[in-house]
Amino acid sequence: MIFGLFILFCSFTFTGAKHFNGGTIGWAPIDPYDNSTPVDITITQSYSWTYPYIQCAHNVPITTSGFGSANTNLTCVVDCSTDGGYSTKPIDILTDCTSTSSSLKMMTTERSKNVTLTADAHFYIAYRGSAWVPLNDPAEKGLDWSIVTYIDLRKRSDGFINTPPVAKFVSPQYAIVNKTIQINIPVSDANAGDDVRCRWSKYTTGYRRRKRFDKEEHIKHRSDIYFLSEVASDREFIHTRKKRQGCSTCLSSCPYGCSCGCNGCTSTTCTGTTCTDSGGCSATVATTTIHTTTTTTVAATTTGATTAINTTTTETPGTPKSTSTFPIRQAIDECADICYPNSVPSGTTLSNCTITFTGHKAGVWYAVAIQVEDFISGSSMTPMSSVPVQFLIYVEPQPACSKEPVIIPLDRCLEVQVGVSISFNLSAMNLCNQTVATLTDIAVPSSITGMTHGNLTHSSTNSSIYYMKFTWTPQTNQIGSQQLCTVAYTSENLQSEQYCVTFTVKTSSDTCVTTTTTSTSTTTTSQTTTTTETTTTTSETTTTTSTTT
């Protein structure tokens, strides 16, 4: 029994403290040109997890032992009065395993769900939790995440519903200590001509509201750089509001927060709780709503090399506190505890969806939060949507071989037909000496639904080449563009540039029709001329030979 509890506590300690590696939440209208109401959209969640702490299965993460209660919803957090009915039927955060890497201890999951909303809905939804690996230097445990996406179904200025950009991510990324790297975030947009930009996620304060209890008076966000010092003698209380400056005698009015008599306050509205209805004053009663967040603390002790670990994990912090006393707009928290610049080393920059990063100490984890937004034109300053991308960066010590592997681009036809199976080998080259470092994996951070792949195979003809076989039968609901993204890794966790390839799914069989004509003339002593003309497509070859003597 004691041993069983020990195992259970270890499970909570290690998985609860470091199982989440980042993610993205996207959406798209099913028919952007549909002018009817309601409007159907597809919301797609993609996350990265520590494997095998979180098991590869359906309904991640609750199918992993110890996480049965980890399910929560994508919650509307801002502008919920115009959410088109989303809050009455929110979707959960459960996703399905799409790929794993044992060597990298990484797993990716994804799930898409359709949601029906009323026309012109516009609002923010978020997935919130707290299970990052200890981040930064010095390391901080128990930091929260907040992944926020902005949905807007109002018609664009050109007359149809916007389709947001799509961002692909790999988490974790690996950097070598004291070496500057550039991490590109692949983005695409279905609306030709839209201007896609990336920016750091941020915390935007909400409209001022009446605080609900004394402790809330001096709440400060981790991303704040400057803030006022707390002064115990200069604060407000929910039942006895004290004016920040001294109150003068009030005979004919009731200044906000002042302790005053109401004998001469006829027809005056008194908002402070110290006023009464005597003398004809109209007192307003404040409405207070109490929310309770439950935090579970677990402890584990590991014997052998004796290690004691105590950690507190709050899987789903409550939504921001609210009150009905005043009209408000909630704060938009896009990054929680990993807001720039505090979440990355100094000198880290973001330009054109490319992060420039230098880690100055090996063995340190960092987290990055980015928003990918699309604009109607290059001069517009109003985003039509906002898609989050959050991922980890780990700083590695100097490797024995610092040559990054290279993925060899596909040279096959990239147009495929519905219902016709295809298979291909994707190869990568190890540029290091095989005795120093080997290629350990070709990870698939962004896969195509229904596409499967085999294990990494070492080429029998070239010791530097490794390949992975992919198989796929395109379906009718995949007509259009489908993108596959891969990254190769060495045994020292050096990674290649992310390689993304886009397939075009068609209903017809005329895929990749290209014509090449070659004419060759040969003259012999008998004056015989032979002309050979060849027409080639990827599906068939026709050869016509004519001889003239």
Mean pLDDT of the 500-519 span = 74
> pLDDT of 523-541, one tens digit each?
343 444 444 444 444 443 3
Note the pLDDT of residue 69: 84
> pLDDT of 371-400, one tens digit each?
999 999 999 999 999 999 999 999 999 999
Residue 206 binned pLDDT confidence (cut-offs 50, 70, 90)? confident
Residue 513 binned pLDDT confidence (cut-offs 50, 70, 90)? low
The values of phi and psi at residue 9, to 5°, are -65, -40
Mean pLDDT of the 234-238 span = 41
Q: Residues 54, 15: contact at Cβ < 8 Å?
A: yes
Assigned CATH for 401-512:
2.60.40.10
Note the pLDDT of residue 243: 42
What are the residue ranges spanned by the domains of the chain? 401-512, 518-548
Q: Residue 27 carries which DSSP code?
A: E
Share of the chain above pLDDT 70, in %: 68
Note the pLDDT of residue 208: 59
Q: Does an H or E element contain 448, and which?
A: none
Residue 426 predicted with pLDDT over 80: yes
The SS3 of residue 216 is helix
Note the pLDDT of residue 266: 41
Cα diameter, the chain? 129
Cβ-based neighbour number of residue 178 at 10 Å:
12
The SS3 of residue 485 is strand
Note the pLDDT of residue 136: 96
Note the pLDDT of residue 212: 47
> pLDDT of 166-204, one tens digit each?
998 889 999 999 999 999 998 999 999 999 999 999 999
Note the pLDDT of residue 23: 96
Note the pLDDT of residue 449: 87
Tokens of 537: 């497509």
- CA 61 to chain CA mean position, Å: 16
- How far are the Cα atoms of 63, 261, 274 from residue 284, in angstroms, in the given order? 50, 16, 11
Report the alpha-carbon distance of residue 512 to residue 514 in Å, rounded: 6
Q: Does an H or E element contain 18, and which?
A: helix 2-18
Note the pLDDT of residue 446: 82
Residue 112 predicted with pLDDT over 60: yes
- Quick one: 228 exposed, middle or buried, by C-beta within 10 A (0-12, 13-18, 19+)? exposed
Note the pLDDT of residue 529: 44
The SS3 of residue 287 is coil
Residue 234 predicted with pLDDT over 70: no
Q: Residues 488, 428: contact at Cβ < 8 Å?
A: yes
* Mean pLDDT of the residues in the chain: 78
Note the pLDDT of residue 27: 97
Note the pLDDT of residue 210: 52
Mean pLDDT of the 199-225 span = 61
> What is the pairing mode between strands 173-176 and 385-396?
parallel
Q: Which of 446, 366, 445, 297 is nearest to 132 (CA)?
A: 366
Cis peptide leading into residue 317 (ω within 30°)? no
> pLDDT of 448-504, one tens digit each?
989 999 999 999 999 999 999 999 999 998 988 899 999 999 999 999 998 999 999
Note the pLDDT of residue 510: 84
- Quick one: 415 exposed, middle or buried, by C-beta within 10 A (0-12, 13-18, 19+)? middle
Note the pLDDT of residue 131: 82
